Amino acid sequence: MLRLRGVTKSFGGVRALRGVDFSLRAGEVHALLGENGAGKSTLIKIIAGAHAPDSGTIELDGRPITESSPSHARKLGISVIYQQPALFADLSVAENLALRTEAGGAFRVVRWKARRQRAAELLARVGAVIDPDAEVRSLSMPQQQLVEIAAALGGDARVLILDEPTASLGQQDTDNLFRVVDELKRQGVGIIYISHRLDEIRRIADRVTVLRDGSYVTTQQAADITPPEMIRLMVGRSLDAVFDKQTVPIGDVVLETRGLSSKAAGISDVSLTVRAGEIVGLAGLVGAGRTELARVLFGLEAADGGTITLNGRAITLRKPADAIAAGIAYLPEDRRRHGVILDFSVCSNTTLATLERVSSASLIDRGAERRSADDFVARLGTKTPDVEFAVGNLSGGNQQKVALARWLAAEPSVLILDEPTQGVDVGAKAEIHKLIGQLAGRGLAVILISSELPEVLGMSDRIAVMKGGRIVATLDRKDATQENLLDLALNGQAAAATVSSAGVRR
């Protein structure tokens, strides 16, 4: 139904696409793979009408597409769901859906009852339990993603492009998304699927096309290509270890919580210890309380019960400034909203948490600020033309490194990482894992939150599993498997016996 031949695109002197061919059949899922910078985003923006190709042709149902505009693409039935939901935060879910699905001019009667009913029907189709009257700003990232998918369904999309759709989804929401995708396939919708989670490609895709450095590499049946082969084709070399777990000495307890509770955050009776040099993974489904616990530990939500001890001293965290002063750093899940300021430079982002160190008499010393940024660019291997370059123009992996540099500049003793490799390619993921291992080697106590069980298993020394705002079990690395972690996350108990960090068999 969709065919691209010899598509090229340049931005200034940078060639983003070099004669790329791509095709999509009705009722198939075609995965588009490649590292950040491989040309995937440029290709889907050309399909969506956001960019016009410099050369090459695009055909839909055998007819050439000559007009490049998002509105024209939508009229043709081409819909894109980007990794970051493009919703209006101050409007309701029903209003956001209406903007995508309702026709008519500005002067018309709004039938609110019918609008809400239509919104409820679309949300039900994607299995989303969301109030149509809820403001979008109150929704979690997974919920916003489902609203985007519901909007695409309401717009009668024939070609649906999903850009990292499961990046912020847990296993249950991912399974639900796959159910929706399977249903769309049966209806004849062609789906272009972009994901860095290689394990799900063979589950969801019929064919796979790989791009590298803006060039077409290959198209193969998904069933015939293994994840290691996908990695080799994407990066042009064998990637032996995505999870670079280093063995480092474990020191004394740095952070300890006992019976920690917060009604506002929805956590209760959480007892957890993290030692110097130790990586403690937090596993669980979306809504289990992992991010909520992190927010309490960083002073974003108030604790109303239990204690927090740092290096043997009880502390009270009323606001993030208290946590920073105590030596706790937090890299949040949504880096583009809360991790970095996209319009600021690498330099300005790096020193945001430590302005007093690069200031004198309330004036920022630009030289000192630049020296600090240069140091962290070198230490973390951040790929940027210059430290004055806007962070919004960097790849996802490099944005994450800038966000991490901000907190490392504060010299914390506890580092909380919430989905640190979400939406980054396999090469950048391996670099971030290596960096996390190096930080643990320097004695940092690390809490790692991830929805990817292989990441939790590959990087953690111990794993605490959460369900319903509580820690239901803590497992040593050697005793943890994907099966028993999932059992605990779903049921609060493992199917087989597990061993806690205290050595007690449960």
In the chain, where are the structural domains located?
A: 2-235, 241-327+412-506, 350-410
Crossing angle of helices 227-235 and 426-441, in 10° steps, is: 100
CATH architecture of 2-235: 3-Layer(aba) Sandwich (3.40)
Q: Do domains 2-235 and 241-327+412-506 have the same CATH topology?
A: yes
What pLDDT digit, counting tens, does each position of 337-376 carry? 777 888 899 999 898 888 888 888 788 888 888 888 898 8
The closest of 120, 122, 124, 121 to 134, measured between CA atoms, is 120
Q: What is the mean pLDDT of the chain?
A: 86
Write out the H or E segment, with its range, that includes residue 377.
helix 366-380
Q: For residue 138, how many other CB atoms are within 10 A of its CB?
A: 12
| Phi, psi angles (nearest 5°) of residue 330 | -135, 120
| Phi, psi angles (nearest 5°) of residue 112 | -65, -40
What pLDDT digit, counting tens, does each position of 265-305 carry? 999 999 999 999 999 999 987 778 999 999 999 999 999 99
- CA atoms of 435 and 440, how far apart (whole Å): 9
Q: Which amino acid is at 465?
A: V
Contact at 8 Å (CB) between 49 and 73?
Answer: yes
pLDDT given for residue 37 in this prediction: 67
- CA atoms of 211 and 230, how far apart (whole Å): 11
17-37 burial: b if 16+ Cβ within 10 Å, else e:
bbebebbbeeebbbbbbbbbb
The closest of 226, 126, 121 to 180, measured between CA atoms, is 126
Per DSSP bridges, beta strands 55-60 and 2-11 are antiparallel
pLDDT given for residue 503 in this prediction: 35
Strand runs labelled E in 213-360? 215-221, 253-262, 267-275, 279-283, 305-310, 313-315, 328-331, 359-360
- CA atoms of 15 and 237, how far apart (whole Å): 22
- CA atoms of 170 and 285, how far apart (whole Å): 5
Write out the H or E segment, with its range, that includes residue 193.
strand 190-194
Handedness of CA 209, 396, 145, 242 (dihedral sign): positive
Q: Locate tokens 């979400």: which residue?
A: 422
- CA atoms of 194 and 272, how far apart (whole Å): 36
- CA atoms of 469 and 343, how far apart (whole Å): 35
CATH architecture of 241-327+412-506: 3-Layer(aba) Sandwich (3.40)
Which mean pLDDT values do the consecutive 10-residue runs of the chain (506 residues) have? 94 82 96 82 92 94 91 90 83 92 78 92 86 92 84 85 80 82 90 86 93 91 88 65 75 96 94 96 86 94 95 94 93 77 90 83 85 87 86 82 86 91 73 86 93 86 94 93 81 50 35
Task: List the structure tokens of 162.
Answer: 């999903």
pTM attached to this predicted model: 0.60
Q: What is the DSSP secondary structure assignment for residue 477, as one 8-state letter?
A: G
Q: What is the DSSP secondary structure assignment for residue 263, as one 8-state letter?
A: T
The maximal CA–CA distance of the chain, rounded, in angstroms, is 70
Contact at 8 Å (CB) between 107 and 158?
Answer: no
Per DSSP bridges, beta strands 445-449 and 313-315 are unpaired
